[in-house]
Structures are given as structure tokens and as C-alpha cells.
Structure 1
Amino acid sequence: MKSALLILDMQNELIDPNGKVGKNGFAKMVADLKLVQKTAAVADAFRARNLPVVFVNVGFEKGYLDAISKQSRLAHLKDMGAMIIGEFGTGFPDALAPNEGDLVVTKRAVNPFHNTNLLNWLQANKVERIVLAGVYTHMVVDSTARHGDDSGLFVTVLEDCCASPDMDLHRIECEKILPLFSTVSRSEEFLKLL
């Protein structure tokens, strides 16, 4: 079964200490959990087996002309001037930067399948399983797992390559919600089976 790794929203704005969101404490949490290193090791393992690695980020045009959501989370990003395409915040940390041949999908919603070519690309490349790493577990990881399952894909969530600012939300997702839509695993266990 062909698998693809989806690295979700692990972009500078959220996980770098200089990111407009990350500087408020989440970047330190990501560093303490070694999320970048663990995810980079999984990405390297996928590339070594010639399996696709897909990076997903959130990005908007200047002025947020392409933003659709009316919710407070988007207003918060607008207030900070965060996640503008082409700026530092939509890039990825050097230790987890896309390699040549990796796909980068920029979304404007929580769900990376919404208004992107992601599902078509996965189908065209005969991917049957998506393996998820990313932040935040209770938002993009949850949304991706649900949509992937609804689309007929097998879904695996690497719980030690995911995090939320409130790790109780992460734990509840991994223990009670994500198992309804996916297989929840740790990266080292999954790599033994890959």
C-alpha cells in the first residue's frame, strides 16, 4: 500500500520562536517535544523509500483578500499580520525544509483538502494511506484525518509528531477522537512497519 507523509502547518509562524504565533510559547513546546527532529526523521525515511512527502501550510495574500473564514481565529491572525504568502511565517524551519520533489500545498482553511489540489494529487499518485504529522492536533490533524477517511484513504496519525498548545486537547484527540478516523501510532513504531 503506497503511503504519503503529510506535514501539516509546521511552518515558521507557528513553531519558530520568531513566528508571530510561536513566540507566545508554542515554539518552546514544539522544541521541548522535539517535533521538528522527529518529523524530519520520518520525512527522511519516506524519501529513502521513494514515498511522497507533502508539506501543507496556511497562507494568505497581503490584505487577506483570499480569506474566507469569519471566525475569531482568523481575526487574530489579521491583527498580527500573520501567515502572509512569501513572508517568513509561511516558510518552514531549515531542519524540516521541503526537498526537491516534495509537494507544498498552501491552504486558506483548516482543512488542507478544501479548495486545494491535494486529494486529486494523492489519487493521481496512487496514494492509499496518508500519514499525518503536524500542529495543531485538535484542528488541522483532526480535520485532515476526517476528510481523508471520508475520501476512502487509510489514515495514520503519528501522535509524537503532533501537538496542540493545550496538550490536554492533543491527548483527548489521540485517545478518544482520532482513533475513530485513523490509526494512532508513534513514529518509531510506524517506521518499523514502513
Structure 2
Amino acid sequence: MSHDPVPLTETALLIADLQNDFIHPDGAYARGGHGNAEIAALPARVKPLADALRAGGGWIVSTHFTLVPGRGGEPMIAPHLLAIRPFLRRGDFQPGAWGHALVDELQPADFSVEKVAYSAFYMSRLEWVLRKANIRRLLVCGIVTNGGVSSTVRDAHVREFEVTVLSDGCAAFSTEVHETAINALRPVAHVATVAETLAELRAA
């Protein structure tokens, strides 16, 4: 992997699963009693970086956790997920639905990619999109740090993308779990705050 500076035009903010069904007060998780203040604060914290990337010719790529509707419209839910999130129901995280969409505060995205597992690279078009757009560096934010974020970052690393994890641009349902996950990613990614990354972009 090259250590030469990557220009902003080849850099993307990769937003992991900051969707209405996860975050909005009317979304599926709030309905199920799983709202979280740290997660809800992420869009406002990340927005200045998204705006700076757009202004400088960078990219916004959002990944979307997806429950694929099966026969009769019932979502195909992995047994382990159904066991811990029994409130999920028909229409939640459904492609094209309001709950599936990126939160308004961070829209629009240049590319949106459905994901069906922890890693956004698994059985998706994400790598194809990134290569076609000549994106070589990813600034990763979103949820949850120990799940979709960690899995996606590790898969990006083995694909030789340059990765920065935004330590305060990610969150989990526990601060301790979040911090443990961030520390575990240091061998495969650069770790920086949103403010530090903004300063770096403005100095380039």
C-alpha cells in the first residue's frame, strides 16, 4: 500500500449504516427501545467533514444495512439477529423504504450500497464502485464500531485501501465496547478524530 498522500478527489467518507431505522426517533430501533445517544449524535458530528469533502471534490459513500423482503414481504432475518432484536418486522430496513435511507443530515451520498452482513464488502458492489471512482482512501464513520465498522475496515485493509477510522465518528451501544474496538483497529488503520481529519484536509 502506497504511503504517498492521497488527493481529496480520490478520498471518500464511508458512512456505515447511519440510517433512519437505526437513528431516527421514528425508526425501527427507537420503536424497539434501542435508541442510543452516542449513536444519535454521529450525523451532526460527521456533517462538517462530509461538507468539506463535497466542497473539495471528494466522495460520500453510504452503506445500508438491509433486510431483504422474502415471500409475502416478510424480511429475511438471520437467526442470531432475530434473537437479539425480536422487534424487527416487515418493512424495517427494506430497500427503498424511508427507514433504509441515509439520515437527511448527511444526504446526499454519491453512492449507496446495500449490505447484508457485517462487512459492507461482503457480496456487495462496494469494491467495484470504489475502484470505478478511483477512490483509494476511506475515512470511515458510522455504526456499530465493533460490528459493521470493524468488519468493513478490516476488509478494506486487505484490499489495500488506505483507511482512517474516525474515532469520534463511530459509536457502539457501549462506550467500553467502542473503545476496545477502536484500539483493535490500530494495526490495520490510521485512527483520528473528526477535527484532526478536518484539519488535515484543510492543510493539504
CA contact (8 A) 1:60 1:108 kept: yes
Cα distance between partner residues in 2 of 1:164 and 1:22: 15
CA contact (8 A) 1:17 1:27 kept: no
Secondary structure in 2 aligned to 1:123? Answer: helix
Counterpart among 144, 149, 157 of residue 136 in structure 1: 144
1:73-92 matched pairs, under 5 angstroms: 73-74=81-82, 76=84, 79-81=87-89, 82-92=92-102
Cα distance between partner residues in 2 of 1:163 and 1:61: 25
CA contact (8 A) 2:11 2:137 kept: yes
Cα distance between partner residues in 2 of 1:162 and 1:141: 8
What letter matches 1:118 in structure 2? L
- Evaluate the alpha carbon distance shift between residue 74 and residue 120 of structure 1 in structure 2; reply closer, same or farther with a 3 A threshold: farther
1:153-192 matched pairs, under 5 angstroms: 153-175=161-183, 177-192=184-199
Q: Is structure 2 residue 35 aligned with structure 1 residue 26?
A: yes
Counterpart among 63, 67, 82 of residue 60 in structure 1: 67
What letter matches 2:42 in structure 1? L
TM-score scaled by length of structure 1? 0.88
Query: % of aligned pairs identical?
Result: 28
Cα distance between partner residues in 2 of 1:160 and 1:72: 28
Q: Is structure 2 residue 55 aligned with structure 1 residue 45?
A: no
CA contact (8 A) 1:30 1:163 kept: yes
What letter matches 1:85 in structure 2? P
What CA RMSD, in Å, does the superposition of the two structures yield over aligned residues? 2.0
- TM-aligned CA deviation for residue 126 of structure 1: 1.7
Q: Is structure 2 residue 193 aligned with structure 1 residue 193?
A: no
CA contact (8 A) 1:112 1:140 kept: yes
Cα distance between partner residues in 2 of 1:154 and 1:164: 23
- Evaluate the alpha carbon distance shift between residue 179 and residue 22 of structure 1 in structure 2; reply closer, same or farther with a 3 A threshold: farther
- Evaluate the alpha carbon distance shift between residue 22 and residue 150 of structure 1 in structure 2; reply closer, same or farther with a 3 A threshold: farther
- Evaluate the alpha carbon distance shift between residue 103 and residue 78 of structure 1 in structure 2; reply closer, same or farther with a 3 A threshold: farther
Secondary structure in 2 aligned to 1:62? Answer: coil
1:93-104 matched pairs, under 5 angstroms: 93-99=103-109, 102-104=110-112
Cα distance between partner residues in 2 of 1:112 and 1:65: 23
TM-score scaled by length of structure 2? 0.84
- Evaluate the alpha carbon distance shift between residue 65 and residue 25 of structure 1 in structure 2; reply closer, same or farther with a 3 A threshold: closer
Deviations 1:92-119 (CA, angstroms, capped at 9, x unpaired): 22212225xx111111111111111111
Alignment-derived partner of residue 125 in structure 2: 117
- TM-aligned CA deviation for residue 83 of structure 1: 1.4
- TM-aligned CA deviation for residue 65 of structure 1: 7.4
- TM-aligned CA deviation for residue 77 of structure 1: 5.0
User: Is the deviation greater in 69-78 or in 20-29?
Assistant: 69-78
How many residues are matched?
A: 188
